[in-house]
Amino acid sequence: MKEIKWTKNTMPKTADGNLPVMALTEVEKAHAFHRTIPGYAPTPLARLTHMADYLGLSDVCIKDESYRFGLNAFKVLGGSFAMAKYIASKTGRDISELDFDTLTSDKLREEFGQATFFTATDGNHGRGVAWAANRLNQKAVVFMPKGSTETRLKNIQAENATATIEEVNYDECVRMAAAAAAKTPNGVVVQDTAWKGYEEIPSWIMQGYGTMALEASGQLADYGIDRPTHIFVQAGVGSLAGAVQGYFANKYSDKPPTVIVVEADAGACLYKGAVQGDGEEAIVDGDMQTIMAGLACGEPNTISWDILKNHVSIFAAAPDWVAAKGMRMLAAPIKGDVQVTSGESGAAPFGVLVEIMTNPAYADLKEALDLNKESRVLLFSTEGDTDPDRYKEIVWDGKQYL
């Protein structure tokens, strides 16, 4: 089987000019908006006490995003907040003046008009954008990369969005979405990655993701855990990872948690950038075939990359079998622990944690992270069984991967 690849972060630091994107005050604004959406509730933070004992850790806590707004994934947090911020900016309002009821009112619709929100996605982000657009009485157009499943396509189309699976990879779909928006009256790109000249909306999306980190922080406190010592977080383009890293770096600026970023080895642009070591972005192209569809991205978010290279301790690239093992262990926990239904991209960081703590081949990585019986580890299961058939193949049927 393939091995987990990892590297310490030795990249030169920058002026850290993007860390304020995830300032606590900005995340609190996003959280305040999300709380106005009908059906909002904090997703559970599963405390796996017996698993922590088994792994030789003090605590293992996993944020379970399979409960988010009935959409089975966290991504709606970013798309909904970014769209709300966009409408606020176009109508001369502050986001604090636009709760969800106001946003969906006929009066605001008449004032704002009709926009078409374009995006690229493997499934979860596009579904979140489509869901928000549908409730805001706006249009959504979604481009999906080669290899996307029909289940995820149909979930997006069920939200009255125009969605297609293209014969290109994710990064090419991003370019297609941007080109289509440029040709459409009132076309707006709502993409969870940033590039030069396109940074405002991605920063709003990251702030929306911050709601998940803010909730987790409060739930840790409820468990009597003052701060996590370690955070394992997955990355595709790095928007989520940058949001989580940015939030906790701001919250615990005097003693930040040790953060390890986990990617799918088929993409792993952040890991490869870290190996490169000069602080410049690394680009991965090709089909990037992996079961971790949400992590199959080859071009970093420029905002997140700046945050990550200033604060992350370790970058890792995981093969598919690691994600599959994580899914199975969370689905069949040690007696007394709660079950977490975690999809391929959601379970990868937990799979890496298990290997570090149980496989002598990763003793050097365990030492580099200083993981021990005093460690309190926070992870994010970013999706549930968003593709139920594949989930059953892996968890029920035991399908094997390399």
CA distances to 55, 85, 93, 215, 365 from 88, rounded to whole Å, are 47, 5, 5, 24, 46
Q: Order across the sheet with 116-120: list the strands.
A: 162-165, 139-144, 116-120, 187-189
d(CA 227, CA 218): 10
Burial of 101 (C-beta count, 10 Å sphere; 0-12/13-18/19+): exposed
Torsion sign (Cα): 197, 201, 202, 207: positive
d(CA 61, CA 49): 8
Burial of 252 (C-beta count, 10 Å sphere; 0-12/13-18/19+): middle
For 280: left if phi > 0, alpha if psi spans -120 to 50, otherwise beta; the answer is beta
Structure tokens that stand for 120 in this block: 């690229």
Structure tokens that stand for 138 in this block: 């706006």
Q: Tell me which of 29, 64, 85, 122 is the catalytic residue.
A: 122
d(CA 89, CA 273): 35
Amino acid making up residue 309: K
Catalytic: 192?
Answer: no
d(CA 355, CA 326): 10
Say which residue the tokens 């309190």 belong to. 376
Catalytic: 385?
Answer: no
d(CA 384, CA 341): 5
d(CA 17, CA 181): 29
d(CA 178, CA 120): 9
Neighbours of 197 (CB within 10 A): 7
d(CA 278, CA 250): 25
d(CA 295, CA 265): 9
Q: Tell me which of 29, 63, 75, 272 is the catalytic residue.
A: 75
Q: Which residues are catalytic?
A: 75, 122
